[in-house]
């Protein structure tokens, strides 16, 4: 099992740190020198009981015991720090590999899982495996080697009593195996309860404003009741995993130590004939540590088996197929975008299609707007261009090359994207802006912020560009977060910029300013923008109109108005809404 865990560590981290193996060797050495004193004690006991002891022999034994202690301390000083260094380095790399793998998974896989389940794997399971590597492997080695050495010593002293000492161990470890199965069955239920509970806690905390606004105070709200139910289930399963294996663990300990009673009883039967009283006493003294150590080994064995289950869940996560990468990535010849009969559905081609055979050409260094009613597939189309998903049929090409043939790294260097749901991290404003271009200078960061109309409010923050934003950018308003997102996309300086609802959370004056800034970028970039406010895209080089997942119209603003189709209808509706007044009487 230890070998399996060490090999699994190589599998997770991608390498085996030499310090881990070196530390385990030092741990083995420490265990050997921990076992030697038991043999010295047996020798001294026999000397005393037989009347053959002397001060010189006792002094020599004391020196050997002292030497063993010094060597043990020296080995421990080398073993544990080395094991810690190797284990933490490997787990750090394992976490990075898992994070990188998540980045390369299709969005559909992530969307199909609650964040609590994923958090349980990334946090609890990874922490459990790390603790096992760092703290239990060395202890487990020692726990095995000391009773093994003592068992050999007992068999050498008297093989019949030695076999009696070990006779009950098969039954004991059989009970331990059954206990393992009970533990693993409960562990699966606990993992599911923890994942659900973490998801409910996350939902409750993130929606606390809605809870306070709409639900009664105290314990009467439905959201609070769901949280309480989930936490109660976690408590029940946490108790179950402790209590269900307990009888079997107790029986394991009883079976282990029953060998002591058996050995003493058999020894008593042989007293005066083939066994001396001194030897029986030595056996009694030396066999007790065997049972104590084996009981600790049994408990560690359960934890190691539990860790294997956590390891398997991490393996399953890493085994999820990422978006396929080409063997030889092809570089695009330019930055025009072509949509060739694009078809896509979120069920992997099995569910209801979201996009139906969309074909369009987006010229290089142009501003193209994608408009349509909610649910028409606008955001999905941009996600396909950025290859956050793969098309079910057809192709998305950039510079004449299918995005699937470009490879993720090359594609992501070509594309910058500002999302509809802005994602900001808990670092500073500067760190959030430079996430796509870590080497950007302060002047370049400020220039991008100015273009996105973000420089003014950033300067008013307590520490300016070095102000920590808090989790999710909690210190900023919705419009400010959106402008940070736009500035981040501009700073990346990619030849293609995808803006998803770029002005959705921005007031009209700032929206106009952002549109003017975007107009200056067309000369150097291919810009595709989704917009609900049609007035913000009237000067676009091209407007794509989606309806029900189909491209129904395509052209410039004046052309589309003249056709009197879907775009003209949307335009008329928005013109009418500009005249609405709260409380105005209906005509």
Residue 13 maps to a domain: yes
Which pLDDT score is estimated for 112?
58
Cα–Cα–Cα angle for 306, 311, 317, rounded to 5 degrees: 135
Q: Is the pLDDT of residue 215 over 90?
A: no
- On whether both 302 and 343 belong to a single domain, the answer is no
Residue 251 maps to a domain: yes
Read off the pTM.
Answer: 0.67
Return contacts of 423-426, CB within 8 angstroms, 24+ apart.
423/472, 423/485, 424/469, 424/472, 424/473, 424/476, 424/481, 424/484, 424/485, 425/469, 426/468, 426/469, 426/470, 426/471, 426/472
Q: Rounded mean pLDDT of 402-410?
A: 89
- On whether both 126 and 242 belong to a single domain, the answer is yes
Q: Is the pLDDT of residue 336 over 70?
A: yes
- On whether both 129 and 161 belong to a single domain, the answer is yes
pLDDT digits (tens, 9 = 90+) for 60-96: 888 988 998 899 899 888 888 888 888 888 888 888 8
Residue 395 maps to a domain: yes
Q: Which two tokens stand for residue 77?
A: 């000083």
Q: What is the CATH number of the domain that holds 561?
A: 3.40.50.300
Q: Which residue has the higher pLDDT, 537 or 246?
A: 537
- On whether both 295 and 256 belong to a single domain, the answer is yes
CA–CA distance from 425 to each of 434, 438, 475 (Å)?
Answer: 12, 15, 11
Q: Whole domain around residue 558: which residue ranges?
A: 337-577
Q: What is the CATH number of the domain that holds 99?
A: 1.20.1560.10
Cα 126 to Cα 116: distance, rounded to the nearest angstrom:
14
Q: Is the pLDDT of residue 402 over 90?
A: yes
Quickly state the pLDDT bin for 553 (edges 50, 70, 90): very high
Q: Which residue has the higher pLDDT, 6 or 398?
A: 398
Counting the structural domains of the chain, the total is: 2
pLDDT digits (tens, 9 = 90+) for 447-499: 888 887 788 888 998 899 998 887 667 778 777 887 888 888 888 888 998 88
Which pLDDT score is estimated for 79?
85
Cα 6 to Cα 328: distance, rounded to the nearest angstrom:
34
The alpha helices in 271-387, defined as continuous H runs, are 277-319, 378-385
Q: Which residue has the higher pLDDT, 379 or 130?
A: 379
pLDDT digits (tens, 9 = 90+) for 106-149: 776 776 566 666 776 777 778 777 777 777 766 666 667 777 77
Least confident residue range of 277-281, 346-350, 362-366, 393-397:
346-350
Q: Is the pLDDT of residue 223 over 70?
A: yes
Mean pLDDT, the chain, whole residue set: 80
């Amino acid at each position: 099992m230890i070998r399996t865990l060490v090999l699994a560590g190589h599998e997770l981290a991608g390498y085996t740190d030499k310090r881990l193996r070196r530390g385990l060797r030092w741990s083995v050495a420490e265990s050997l020198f921990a076992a030697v004193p038991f043999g010295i004690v047996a020798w001294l006991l026999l000397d005393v009981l037989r009347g053959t002891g002397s001060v010189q022999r006792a002094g020599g034994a004391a020196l050997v015991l002292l030497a063993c202690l010094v060597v043990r301390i020296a080995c421990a000083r080398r073993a544990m720090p080395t094991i810690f260094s190797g284990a933490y380095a490997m787990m750090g790399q394992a976490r990075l590999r898992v994070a990188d793998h998540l980045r390369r998974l299709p969005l559909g896989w992530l969307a199909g899982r609650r964040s609590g389940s994923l958090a349980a794997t990334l946090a609890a399971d990874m922490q459990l495996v790390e603790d096992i590597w760092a703290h239990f492997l060395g202890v487990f080695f020692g726990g095995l080697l000391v009773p093994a050495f003592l068992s050999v010593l007992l068999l050498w002293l008297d093989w019949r009593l030695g076999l009696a000492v070990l006779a009950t161990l098969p039954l004991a470890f059989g009970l331990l195996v059954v206990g393992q199965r009970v533990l693993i069955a409960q562990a699966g239920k606990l993992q599911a309860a923890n994942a659900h509970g973490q998801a409910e806690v996350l939902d409750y905390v993130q929606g606390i404003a809605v809870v306070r606004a709409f639900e009664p105070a105290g314990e009467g709200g439905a959201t609070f009741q769901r949280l309480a139910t989930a936490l109660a289930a976690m408590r029940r399963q946490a108790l179950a995993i402790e209590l269900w294996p307990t009888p079997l663990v107790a029986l394991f300990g009883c079976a282990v130590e029953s060998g002591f009673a058996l050995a003493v009883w058999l020894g008593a039967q042989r007293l005066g004939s083939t066994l001396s009283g001194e030897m029986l006493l030595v056996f009694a003294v030396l066999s007790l540590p065997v049972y104590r150590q084996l009981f600790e080994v049994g408990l560690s064995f359960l934890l190691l088996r539990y860790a294997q289950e956590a390891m398997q869940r991490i393996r399953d996560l890493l085994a999820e197929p990422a978006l396929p990468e080409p063997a030889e990535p092809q570089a695009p010849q330019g930055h025009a975008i072509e949509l060739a009969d694009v078809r896509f559905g979120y069920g992997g081609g099995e569910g209801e299609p979201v996009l139906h055979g969309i074909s369009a050409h987006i010229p290089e260094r142009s501003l193209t707007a994608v408009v349509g009613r909610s649910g028409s597939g606008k955001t999905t189309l941009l996600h396909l261009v950025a290859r956050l998903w793969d098309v079910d049929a057809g192709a998305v090409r950039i510079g004449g090359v299918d995005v699937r043939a470009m490879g993720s790294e090359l594609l992501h260097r070509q594309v910058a994207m500002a999302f509809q749901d802005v994602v900001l991290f808990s670092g500073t404003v500067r760190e959030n802006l430079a996430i796509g271009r870590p080497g950007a200078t302060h002047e370049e960061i400020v220039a991008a912020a100015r273009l996105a109309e973000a420089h003014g409010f950033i300067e008013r923050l307590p520490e300016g560009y070095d102000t920590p934003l808090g989790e999710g950018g909690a210190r900023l308003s919705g419009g400010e977060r959106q402008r940070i997102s736009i500035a981040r996309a501009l700073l990346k300086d990619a030849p293609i910029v995808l803006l998803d609802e770029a002005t959705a959370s921005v007031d009209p004056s700032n929206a106009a300013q952002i549109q003017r800034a975007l107009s200056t970028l067309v000369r150097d970039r291919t810009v595709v923008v989704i917009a609900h406010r049609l007035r913000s895209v009237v000067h676009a080089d091209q407007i794509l109109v989606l309806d029900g997942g189909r491209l129904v119209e395509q052209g410039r603003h004046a052309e589309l108005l003249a056709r009197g189709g879907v775009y003209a209808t949307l335009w008329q509706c928005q013109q009418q809404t500009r005249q609405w007044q709260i409380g105005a009487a209906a005509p």
